[in-house]
A and B are shown apart, each in its own frame.
Chain A
């Protein structure tokens, strides 16, 4: 029995890890773009971006999953393509949601860099792009590692929410057993998340240590 449960749960957890990985890969760069939008000097873009971020952060991710899953079909009569449209819908909802959260972390990080760093770059004849990528960015990264690690730990746990649109992730797999009268697999899923977060903690500690050589 144990090996059957293990296999099923592991298969389910692969969905969690897949959703986690794709979301992370897409929303980390996308979040930076959203952050630039929300700091834009062009007022309409800034207002629009901040409004969008407010709407996404102000509504439940679960609701957003439903919207992405059912809106295209209900309103436009359009089906999400692909072999696993539910997973695709989950990825879209997660990427949008996490890009907005990341964008606020980026914005905080970027705004925490003293103006003097930009001014030093300028008087040394560096372009704005050079100053950002050569001087500011690594300091931002250092500043945002703690809040980012928080958010990324939340992400792996949030992936379970995708079961509301019937992505067969780990908790859904475990729930199938409890339907058959077997309750312990449900609690056992916790181990998977704990182990995963344990690895994340180690990785983030490494990154923090690595950036310890300077103080900004």
Chain B
């Protein structure tokens, strides 16, 4: 069964229709890459799924739960929205780490705030906090950041910052992890380390949706690729096939431009 189902998402900013009805689905443990030129709507699509924008219409289902229904115009309960939000994680292009917290606190802050809402928090506070910290340390170790847990974001390279932000998103145990051009803000020599981390995550069967410009990487790491153009999905298919054998003219043109 599909863990993520996106149906007919539409979104306009003023008179500009950015998404003209986008649908796709994704199975658990699979990796989907969304490619396309700037302005094709891929980032807006990601932001709509992550509640950073509200789509005008459409339906989004995660793990069988409807997290967005454009037909339901009733006022959304903030708490419910937050719970839905927690099913998915997002890694930003600009990292957006919290500058005043060190690496470890960046990863644990939201999780600790979540834990406060648990009914047994007061009784087991120490144990709960210790568990959160232990988990965060393990995540950071996986990201190769064990040495840096007490450093502040301004003391880290872009690649290290992005790895912290991946750990931060993972700490909330999302069902699906989204990446919004995770390497676009990095120097070319630093993109490799982020791509390696994502590759490792893919091996652990983490379900991921990646908006990216790294075509070779997309082809290698993803199961499926969606090519967006002008607010619609112009072509989609298995990663290898789509890149090696594009069917539409628009994708052919896009790929030849990229390889130039």
- Supposing A125-B82, A125-B110, A134-B109 touch, asked if A214 and B50 sit within 8 A by C-beta, the answer is no
With contacts defined as CB atoms under 8 Å apart, how many contacts are there between chain A and chain B in the complex?
Answer: 66
Chain B's interface size range is 20 to 34
A152 part of interface (Cβ distance < 8 Å):
no
- Supposing A116-B94, A135-B98 touch, asked if A214 and B85 sit within 8 A by C-beta, the answer is no
The answer for the CA separation of A122 and B82 in the assembled complex, in Å, is: 8
B52 part of interface (Cβ distance < 8 Å):
yes
| B91 CB → nearest A CB, Å | 9
The answer for the CA separation of A139 and B98 in the assembled complex, in Å, is: 9
Q: Which residues of A contact B253 (CB under 8 A)?
A: none
Digit string of B46-79 for contact with A (CB within 8 Å is 1, else 0)? Answer: 0000111000000000000000000000000010
Q: Which residues of B contact A214 (CB under 8 A)?
A: 99-100, 152-154
A126 part of interface (Cβ distance < 8 Å):
yes
| B172 with A125: CB separation less than 8 A | yes
| A117 with B82: CB separation less than 8 A | no
| A125 with B86: CB separation less than 8 A | yes
Digit string of A125-152 for contact with B (CB within 8 Å is 1, else 0)? Answer: 1111010001100110010000000000
A3 part of interface (Cβ distance < 8 Å):
no
The answer for the CA separation of A135 and B99 in the assembled complex, in Å, is: 9
Who on chain B is nearest to A128 by CB?
Answer: B78
| B92 with A130: CB separation less than 8 A | no
The answer for the CA separation of A126 and B113 in the assembled complex, in Å, is: 7
| A123 with B100: CB separation less than 8 A | no
A180 part of interface (Cβ distance < 8 Å):
no
| A138 with B100: CB separation less than 8 A | yes
Q: Which residues of A contact B50 (CB under 8 A)?
A: 123
Q: A119-B92, A123-B50, A123-B51 are in contact. List 10 more A-B contacts (CB 8 A).
A: A114-B96, A120-B92, A124-B168, A124-B172, A125-B85, A125-B113, A134-B113, A213-B152, A214-B100, A214-B154
Could you jot down 12 A-B contacts, CB within 8 Å? Answer: A114-B96, A116-B96, A119-B52, A120-B96, A122-B52, A122-B85, A125-B85, A126-B82, A126-B110, A128-B78, A134-B109, A142-B100
Q: 7 closest A-B pairs (Cβ-Cβ)?
A: A124-B110, A120-B96, A116-B96, A215-B154, A123-B90, A125-B86, A214-B99
State the B residues within 8 Å of A (CB). 50-52, 78, 82-83, 85-86, 88-90, 92, 94, 96-100, 109-110, 113-114, 152-154, 168-169, 172
